Copies of this chain bind each other. A is one copy, B any other.
Amino acid sequence: MKTVQVDVAVVGAGTAGLAAFYAARKAGAGAVIIEGGEYGTTCARVGCMPSKLLIAAAEAAHAVGRAAGFGVHANGGFRIDGHAVMDRVRRERDRFVSFVLRDVEDIPDAECIRGQASFVDNHTLVVADHTRVTSKAIVIATGSRAAYPESFKSLGDCLITSDDVFDWYDLPKAVAVIGPGIIGLELGQALHRLGVRVAVLGRGGRVGPISDPEIRAYACATLNEEFTLAPDAHVADMHRYGDRVAIRRAGPQGAELMEYFDYVLAATGRTPNVADIGLHRTTLELDAKGVPVFDPFTTRTVSADGASPIFIAGDAGNFIPLLHEATDEGRIAGQNAARLALGSEARPGLRRARIGVVFTDPQIGIVGGGLRALKPGTFATGQVSFEDQGRSRILLRNKGLLNLYGDLASGKFLGAEMLAPAAEHLSHLLAWALQNGMTVAQMLEMPLYHPVIEEGLRTGLRDLDVKLRAAQGEVGKAA
């Protein structure tokens, strides 16, 4: 067995791992990167990029149908060429993947080790029985994979995950999406708009990352106007029926619904890839899911016997499984691993104001962790509906509801949840304001052009401002 001694070993060559590797090298450490699977990131292969490509096609189809409202008519209807749709998705996806591969190819061979890595102890990894790596510091960046209940396996080749969709050569006729999370909502609506019969079924009522019940109810009702979204579906039975899957579930007025689908798309979450890397041979503290406990500011894990030399970044850490957070975590982990290896101390890195976007239509936007991140009784809520918002109506996109949260004590903006047109853009404006520590009153001094969807923010911020001032007036009276 070959032996390698190095300052920093990074396990996993995805988004977080590559960021960690580059950051460690830039900080002056000797580093290796270890990859047991295919090169290419989750984002480029099966995540952000191909899903946005499919959604772009879906929006194109939807725009053709919607054009009649403006006086523009497709003479003989329109036709969705499933082959062409999937061809563009795969072709552009491959292009994005090729950029990642090119980056990896630029890494000298001596610094890349191929094979599954497994911990021997806090400082030692064995890679596929061929290499033993001893390292002053280690970064775990093993990513995540789609996960589903064991019982789903009885569906055989009718069971797919988001990993499979982007390798299709044509569009199927009917798909049941199990799990109305981010992936389920995005793919469900996109497939529906591309002419696939879709039902998005969940359990417990969750709709994407929304935690505000007003926004959740509005989102559920709005998306349901377009396609079947049953976030609490009471599926009684799901079984293979010839080439298809039969799903029996509760229908209206005590009736039962039986529907048949070509595929069941399991969008039931992702699980961090930490079960098979020998963590039991380290001294790391693990949470209930077997994921190492870590400080999100340093990305350093917690060890039972003193300071840990192990860092974790990206989906493996199961903290905020989003590309831009994985990049930040990877960079912080790489920098701190290098510092440790070179005899200095780990330091907190930059964590930015949180943004979550779901690319449905209308989009879902969560700023600052949303309602669930706030302590009841400490904040006020301002609201705006986009149903009468000027520009949104001009664009025939006037569906949306936005709740904005402000701190009762300081008047500061705290975050937001929304289903809204252009939510991806509104969320950036709000997240930058949040990270800048702006008060609601200061935000109302910022410029807004006319007519723009952003003007809806003013309506909501004014509502919030009135409530914050009223609360501060009460405090004033009491004092």
Residues of A participating in the B interface, judged by any CB pair closer than 8 Å: 43, 48-49, 52-53, 56-57, 60-61, 63-64, 66-67, 69-88, 92, 96, 322-324, 350, 352-357, 390-391, 393-396, 422, 424-425, 427-429, 431-433, 435-436, 438, 445-452, 454
The contact of A451 among B49, B70, B74, B391, by CB within 8 Å, is B49
Pair A66/B60 contact, Cβ less than 8 Å: yes
- Given the interface contacts A57-B70, A63-B60, A77-B75, does A428 sit within 8 Å of B445 by beta carbon? no
Q: In the complex, how many angstroms separate the beta carbon of A291 from the nearest chain B beta carbon?
A: 23
Structural contact, A49 and B390, CB atoms closer than 8 A: yes
From the candidates B56, B323, B394, B432, name the one contacting A56 in the complex (CB within 8 A): B394
CA distance in complex: A411, B395 (Å): 39
Asked if residues B79 and A75 are in contact (CB atoms below 8 Å), the reply is yes
Closest to A436 in B: B436
Copies of this chain present? 2
Q: Are B56 and A70 in contact (CB under 8 A)?
A: yes
Whether B63 lies near A83 (C-beta < 8 A) is no
For the complex, what is the distance from the CA of A88 to the CA of B72, rounded to whole Å? Answer: 11
- Answer whether A56 and B436 are a contact pair too, CB < 8 Å, given A49-B390, A75-B77, A84-B71: no
CA–CA, A454 and B324, complex, Å:
13
A352 touches B445 (CB 8 A): yes
Asked, given contacts A432-B433, A447-B353, A450-B323, whether A85 binds B71 with beta carbons under 8 Å apart, the answer is yes
The secondary structure that dominates the A interface is helix
> Taking A75-B75, A85-B70 as contacts, is the C-beta distance between A324 and B449 under 8 angstroms?
yes
20 additional contacts (CB under 8 A) given A52-B391, A425-B454:
A48-B451, A49-B394, A49-B451, A64-B67, A69-B88, A71-B85, A71-B87, A73-B78, A73-B80, A92-B393, A323-B450, A350-B445, A422-B425, A424-B452, A428-B448, A428-B449, A428-B454, A429-B432, A431-B447, A435-B445
Known: A49-B390, A352-B446, A428-B448. A81 touches B74 (CB 8 A): no
Q: Which residues of chain B are within 8 angstroms of A57 by Cβ–Cβ distance? A: 70-72
A75-B77, A83-B71, A85-B70 are contacts. A428–B452 as well, Cβ < 8 Å? yes
Closest to A73 in B: B79
- If A396-B56, A429-B429, A450-B323 touch, whether A74 touches B78 (CB-CB below 8 Å) is yes
Say yes or no: B63 contacts A67, CB within 8 Å. yes
Q: Which residues of B contact A427 (CB under 8 A)?
A: 449
Residue of chain B at shortest CB distance from A388: B99
Query: In the complex, what residues of B have CB within 8 A of residue A436's CB?
Result: 436, 438
Task: For A450, give the chain B residue with the smallest CB separation.
Answer: B323
In the A-B complex, list the 6 residue pairs whose CB atoms are closest, starting with the nearest.
A71-B84, A76-B76, A75-B76, A71-B85, A352-B447, A425-B425
Which residues of the other chain, B, contact A322 by a CB distance below 8 angstroms? 449-450
Residue A85 contacts which of B72, B353, B432 (CB distance < 8 angstroms)?
B72
Q: Taking CB as reference atom, which chain B residue is nearest A427?
A: B449
* Assembly CA distance A385 to B142 (angstroms): 33
Question: Chain B residues near A52 (CB, 8 Å)?
Answer: 391, 394, 451
Contacts of A354 in B (CB 8 A): 447
Shortest Cβ gap from A93 to chain B (Å): 10
Task: Take A64-B74, A72-B80, A394-B92 as given contacts and tell me if A446 and B429 are in contact as well, using a CB distance cutoff of 8 Å.
Answer: no
Taking CB atoms, residues of chain B closer than 8 Å to A355 are 447, 449
